[in-house]
């Protein structure tokens, strides 16, 4: 994949590169087992969070388009998750306020490394009796516990040093478009039929998504200012090209959201997509670096 990189640090090949604040060396260990869940967790837990399984599945599905492991950052008021893919081309930042959870008890701020597939697997088991998912961390034994109904999964947290901990870069924005998730999903599905890249162009009265296969095949989806909630564009036009795969995967998760997505774009700069979920108790930010080798359409 020949995408650029996010951030403001320069390198030879790409204009953008994220600065990661955590090392990525060290070995990762993972020990887990299943056992019947005791209905009254032991005292002394640093974290006890109870969530709707649908909330966890949504968050996991959004993040799995980018990474396999994340850092869950709990404080007294919210859960924060930031992730960046291995190529430093895509980043997601999610914040979920305590109001989105059935219970949210955090004694002191703590960061826990987890595998997303573990959260996905446990939350998917809630269908048996529509049970809530309970997440706890016991500092006495150092295990991260995920419980649903009568099932308890215990796993050793992933070493924090093995998971990048990105800081959100400042991204220029010269055009902003508010469109719904279904519109984005439709455009990405159409463009992905003919190309691995999508050229996004914003003008004063429209936004278009274009993909092509040389001169042989082109697919373009255009929404006018009458079809979207808002279009604001400086300098007449803004245009950049991005990898379809990231946007296609993300859009499938966001198409059911009731609120509009906020697209921010500048020519040859990272794309920024902002969204809200969980009755606006959750906010999400997705950044995608532009392609640097797309040529001219």
Number of domains in the chain: 2
The pLDDT of residue 44: 53
Domain boundary among 162, 196, 228: 162
**What CATH number is associated with residue 110?**
3.10.150.10
Same domain, 182 and 149: no
Integer CA distances (angstroms), 89 to 38, 55, 60, 166, 243, in order: 43, 26, 19, 12, 9
In a domain, residue 1? The reply is no
The pLDDT of residue 268: 85
In a domain, residue 137? The reply is yes
Domain boundary among 105, 130, 162: 162
Same domain, 133 and 224: no
In this predicted structure, which of 100-109, 140-149, 268-277 has the lowest mean pLDDT?
A: 140-149
The pLDDT of residue 206: 97
In this predicted structure, which of 26-40, 79-93, 131-145, 155-169 has the lowest mean pLDDT?
A: 26-40
Same domain, 77 and 192: no
Q: How far apart are CA 199 and CA 107, in angstroms?
A: 47
Higher pLDDT, 118 or 235: 118
The pLDDT of residue 19: 31
Same domain, 44 and 148: yes
Helix and strand totals (H; E) in the chain: 4, 19
The pLDDT of residue 131: 85
Q: Is the pLDDT of residue 261 over 90?
A: yes
Q: Is the pLDDT of residue 12 over 50?
A: no
The pLDDT of residue 141: 86
Same domain, 62 and 108: yes
**pLDDT above 70: percentage of residues in the chain:** 82
The pLDDT of residue 138: 84
- Per residue in 155-213, pLDDT (tens digit) is 999 999 999 999 999 888 999 999 999 999 999 999 999 999 999 999 999 999 999 98
Higher pLDDT, 203 or 15: 203
Q: How far apart are CA 88 and CA 83, in angstroms?
A: 10
The pLDDT of residue 20: 32
What is the reported pTM? 0.83
Domain extent at residue 102: 32-162
Whole-number average pLDDT of the chain? 85
**The 237-243 sheet, strands edge to edge:** 217-224, 206-213, 197-203, 237-243
In a domain, residue 8? The reply is no
- Per residue in 54-113, pLDDT (tens digit) is 999 999 999 998 999 999 999 999 999 999 999 999 999 999 999 999 999 999 999 999
In a domain, residue 14? The reply is no
Q: What is the 3-state secondary structure (H, E, C) of 243-287?
A: EHHHHHHHHHHHCCCCCCEEEEECCCCCEEEEEEECCCCEEEEEE
The pLDDT of residue 108: 92
The pLDDT of residue 59: 97
Q: Is the pLDDT of residue 8 over 50?
A: no
The pLDDT of residue 128: 65
In a domain, residue 91? The reply is yes
The pLDDT of residue 87: 92
The pLDDT of residue 260: 97
């Amino acid at each position: 994949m020949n995408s650029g990189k996010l951030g403001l640090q320069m390198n030879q090949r790409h204009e953008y590169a994220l600065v990661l604040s955590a090392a990525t060396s060290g070995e990762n260990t993972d020990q887990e087992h299943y056992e019947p869940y005791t209905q009254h967790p032991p005292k002394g837990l640093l974290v006890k969070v109870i969530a709707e399984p649908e909330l966890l599945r949504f968050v996991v599905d959004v993040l799995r388009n980018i990474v396999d492991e994340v850092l869950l950052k709990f404080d007294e008021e919210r859960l924060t998750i930031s992730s960046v893919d291995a190529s430093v081309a895509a980043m997601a930042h999610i914040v979920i306020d305590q109001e989105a959870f059935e219970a949210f008890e955090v004694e002191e701020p703590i960061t826990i490394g987890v595998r997303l597939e573990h959260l996905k697997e446990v939350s998917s088991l809630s269908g048996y009796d529509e049970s809530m998912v309970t997440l706890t961390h016991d500092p006495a034994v150092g295990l991260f516990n995920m419980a649903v109904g009568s099932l308890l999964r215990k796993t050793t947290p992933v070493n924090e040093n093995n998971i990048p901990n990105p800081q959100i870069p400042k991204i220029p924005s010269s055009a902003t478009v508010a469109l719904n998730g279904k519109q984005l999903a439709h455009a990405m599905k159409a463009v992905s039929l003919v190309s691995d890249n999508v050229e996004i162009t914003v003008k004063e009265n429209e936004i278009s998504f274009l993909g092509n296969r040389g001169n042989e095949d082109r697919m373009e989806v255009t929404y006018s200012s009458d079809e979207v909630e808002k279009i604001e564009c400086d300098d007449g036009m803004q245009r950049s090209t991005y990898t379809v795969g990231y946007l296609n995967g993300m859009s499938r998760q966001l198409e059911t959201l009731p609120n509009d997505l906020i697209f921010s774009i500048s020519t040859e700069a990272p794309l920024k997509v902002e969204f809200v979920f969980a009755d606006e108790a959750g906010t999400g930010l997705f950044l995608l670096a532009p392609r640097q080798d797309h040529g001219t359409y």
